[in-house]
Structure 1
Amino acid sequence: MQDAKTTRDWDALGKCLVIGGGGFLGGQIVRQLRAEGVSVRVMGRNHYPDLAPLGVECLLGDVTNPIEVHAACKDMDTVFHTAALNHMWGQRELIYQVNVEGTANVIKACRDTAVARLVYTSSPSVVIGESNIVNGDESLPYPERYNADYPRSKSIAEQLVLKANQGSETANGRGLLSCAIRPHLLWGPGDPHILPRIREAATSGRLRQIGDGRNQITITQVENAAWAHLLAALELAGQGRCAGKAYFVGDEKPIYLWPWLNEVMSIWGLPQIKKHAPWGLTRFIALLSEGLHYFFPRLGEPFMTTFVVDQLVRSHSFSHQAAERDFGYHPIISPQEGLQKLVMAEQNAAHFLSTENTENLAWADAHNPHGRDTDGTRTGHGRDTDS
């Protein structure tokens, strides 16, 4: 499934900065921009050697440092701000420092350096309260309270970005155009967040279906999310219909969460999720765990939070009709293609591990033909020395 062949003026984006361009979503935005021949600069806290072959300029920088953000924004025309701290527990000050103050730094730097356009990566969690959402649209209000610091911080940051839209002139006398994109549950090969946690829980035998399994959610394959960011930036450079607005984006249609996770389990070669846990009891345990970790912060993060429980049991589905109407968003990766990409990634990972093990064994045999460890202990092929 690919986007229809449409002539687009990619030159209109000018020079692009992707803040957080070494991350899961940011990296995909970088790759799509470069595929269209757009000049790209990346700012991140680490070196990203995998981006070098793409002809990308990489700068070390942190959104909490106004000077570094200003330097990164200099001479840029379009900024994509994808960097965020997505911890669901603890580190409240750091979460606000990165997600709220960091975003304020980006907005100021855009104005001070005459950046024309800012596309911000937000989250549907900014409108998720304590009830199901089915086919929700952009008329949903911000809730009065949040049960985690992450959605609260993203809500504040999103509102800063939307308020910044032409709120004051930039250094060249033009107003900054800004918008926010709300992809729900990013997934795909290379996902460092959701799927690895689920896989770890499944592998350890801790994963249980919470509730009746009938909750529908919108998910967003990472390539679809990145494409939405590019289209929004193009619209800001054109008629500007998305300026000052936030948009939900996602895959073609919502999925039933637990059956979909079982499809993923099959790809990983793991057993189907058959164990169940009642919602009420699980949420009560999460509350107890949160209370315990609140009074004893040295324990680290709770093994379960009420925010995560609610995400796993409630319906959270969103319409992307507004994004389709205002900047022509359509998913470029179908659910089937997305799952096939997971299959290919799993096969490539298995092949890599197999090749790596073979090469390691060949090296060991060449350097230690008698099959002995350096302490004289016999070791069998493919085994750890303590097995």
Structure 2
Amino acid sequence: MRILVTGATGFLGGAVARRLADAGHDVTGTGRDAGRGRALHAAGIRFMPAALADVAAWPALLDGTDAVVHSAARSTLWAPWADLQADNVDASVMIARLCAQRQLPLVHISSPSVYNASGRSVRVPEDTPVGPRFDTPYARSKYLAELGVQRAHPAATLLRPRGLYGPGDPALMPRIVRALSAGRLPRLTRTEVHTELTHVRNAAHAVHLAVERPVAGPVNITDGEPVPVWATIDRVARRIGAPAPQRFVPARMAEHAARLLELAAQVRPGAAEPVVTASGVRLLTRPMSLDLTRARTALGYAPVVSVAEGLDEVMADLAATHA
């Protein structure tokens, strides 16, 4: 199959493009990072520079394509709403419409952040009611993107991988490392918190399955095993030679302080993301597991990387980086 992968210069998009190419598909990747584009080309993946905002360029990019994986997005907990609307909502709907017009299968990468305000935390299924309130503008943008994609292309697959990690992760682990290195991460709970994550190769495997075996609607994806949040943070601290969190701050107090930091940043145009965000506190203090029944039965999904293997990879990468 000739497959277009948007956001192929990103963490997940790059893993998806390589997975599909290794499986024998003819893959074209788009993105804005020319350096990473050259790395894709060296891996046998055709690279086409493209920005989501360049609406006029997308019809030609889809010509001659058999399927599309839309991985490109503004993936941040802190961004102006206009940017989230343009990159996550409007661009997703545009690509879905173009795919529908050409009758192309579409795998749209969404996010389980849409569940965060639902009140459910254990074995959350895809049909859990979500909205109208969301924990972050990012979550709201991903929800609106899902609605728009489903209206434009009802047959599209919407994958919701939770907590992407792995060697080269640009978000989850670097945030923890920065907080530990600066000594500013307190212990926010007296007891352990278990959550689920998704190794990037498991997410790419799920995309591969969805391309070859399309499933309409949302599908949860994780490693399928619980991860102890604070034990993992302590392990990261040992690997990078930083002190583990000791000082206890109640989660509610930390979340309130983070909201104040966010409010202060919001009144300063162009302000950087606060060092602590309310959503970041919730990720470290609230358990979460997703129901994978639909992934297993409809997609035939089973993780190809276990939690133990995935975390060992990450720890080895951290040890090499901080040697």
Indicate the TM-score class for this superposition, using the shorter chain for normalisation. Answer: over 0.9
Deviation at 1:130, TM superposition (A): 6.2
Q: What is the alpha-carbon distance in structure 2 between the residues aligned to residue 275 and residue 35 of structure 1? A: 47
* Deviation digits for residues 146-165 of structure 1 (CA, Å, limit 9, x no counterpart): 13210000001012222333
Query: Which residue matches 1:46?
Result: 33
Q: What is the alpha-carbon distance in structure 2 between the residues aligned to residue 125 and residue 103 of structure 1? A: 17
Query: Which residue matches 1:196?
Result: 174
Secondary structure at the counterpart of residue 290 of structure 1: helix
Query: Which residue matches 1:28?
Result: 15
* Deviation digits for residues 289-340 of structure 1 (CA, Å, limit 9, x no counterpart): 2222223335433332222222221112112121001011000001121122
From 153, 160, 165, the equivalent of 2:148 is 160
Do the aligned residues in 2 keep the contact of 1:76 with 1:115 (CA within 8 Å)?
no
From 51, 58, 65, the equivalent of 1:62 is 51
Query: Which residue matches 1:171?
Result: none
Deviation at 1:132, TM superposition (A): 4.9
From 313, 320, 328, the equivalent of 2:292 is 320
Q: What is the alpha-carbon distance in structure 2 between the residues aligned to residue 303 and residue 196 of structure 1? A: 12
Query: Which amino acid is the alignment partner of residue 95 of structure 1?
Result: L
Query: Which amino acid is the alignment partner of residue 189 of structure 2?
Result: G
For the structure 1 residues 344 and 90, does the alpha-carbon distance in structure 2 shift closer, same or farther, using more than 3 Å as the test?
A: closer
Which has the larger displacement, 295-304 or 126-135? Answer: 295-304
Secondary structure at the counterpart of residue 135 of structure 1: coil
Paired residues in the alignment total: 321
Query: Which residue matches 2:204?
Result: 226
Do the aligned residues in 2 keep the contact of 1:132 with 1:314 (CA within 8 Å)?
no
Q: What is the alpha-carbon distance in structure 1 between the residues aligned to residue 158 and residue 114 of structure 2? A: 11
Which has the larger displacement, 335-344 or 15-24? Answer: 335-344
Query: Which residue matches 2:213?
Result: 235
Do the aligned residues in 2 keep the contact of 1:213 with 1:257 (CA within 8 Å)?
no
* Deviation digits for residues 256-275 of structure 1 (CA, Å, limit 9, x no counterpart): 21112222333334333323
For the pair shown, the structure with the greater C-alpha radius of gyration is 1
Give 1:276-315 correspondences, 5 Å limit: 276-315=248-287
Deviation at 1:45, TM superposition (A): 1.3
Q: What is the alpha-carbon distance in structure 2 between the residues aligned to residue 320 and residue 208 of structure 1? A: 32
2:302 aligned with 1:330, yes or no? Answer: yes
Do the aligned residues in 2 keep the contact of 1:79 with 1:115 (CA within 8 Å)?
no
Do the aligned residues in 2 keep the contact of 1:132 with 1:315 (CA within 8 Å)?
no
* Deviation digits for residues 37-88 of structure 1 (CA, Å, limit 9, x no counterpart): 1100011112121111221111111122211222221111110001111222
For the structure 1 residues 140 and 110, does the alpha-carbon distance in structure 2 shift closer, same or farther, using more than 3 Å as the test?
A: same
Query: Which residue matches 1:138?
Result: 126
2:15 aligned with 1:37, yes or no? Answer: no
Secondary structure at the counterpart of residue 102 of structure 1: helix
Do the aligned residues in 2 keep the contact of 1:124 with 1:182 (CA within 8 Å)?
yes
Query: Which residue matches 2:6?
Result: 19
Q: What is the alpha-carbon distance in structure 1 between the residues aligned to residue 205 and residue 292 of structure 2? A: 13
From 257, 279, 282, the equivalent of 2:229 is 257
Query: Which residue matches 1:105?
Result: 94
Q: What is the alpha-carbon distance in structure 1 between the residues aligned to residue 94 and residue 248 of structure 2? A: 45
Secondary structure at the counterpart of residue 279 of structure 2: helix
From 110, 116, 138, the equivalent of 1:122 is 110
Q: What is the alpha-carbon distance in structure 2 between the residues aligned to residue 119 and residue 179 of structure 1? A: 5
Unaligned runs of 5+ residues in structure 1 are: 1-13, 167-176, 237-241, 352-387
Q: What is the alpha-carbon distance in structure 2 between the residues aligned to residue 310 and residue 300 of structure 1? A: 20
For the structure 1 residues 130 and 279, does the alpha-carbon distance in structure 2 shift closer, same or farther, using more than 3 Å as the test?
A: farther
Do the aligned residues in 2 keep the contact of 1:211 with 1:279 (CA within 8 Å)?
yes
For the structure 1 residues 286 and 26, does the alpha-carbon distance in structure 2 shift closer, same or farther, using more than 3 Å as the test?
A: same
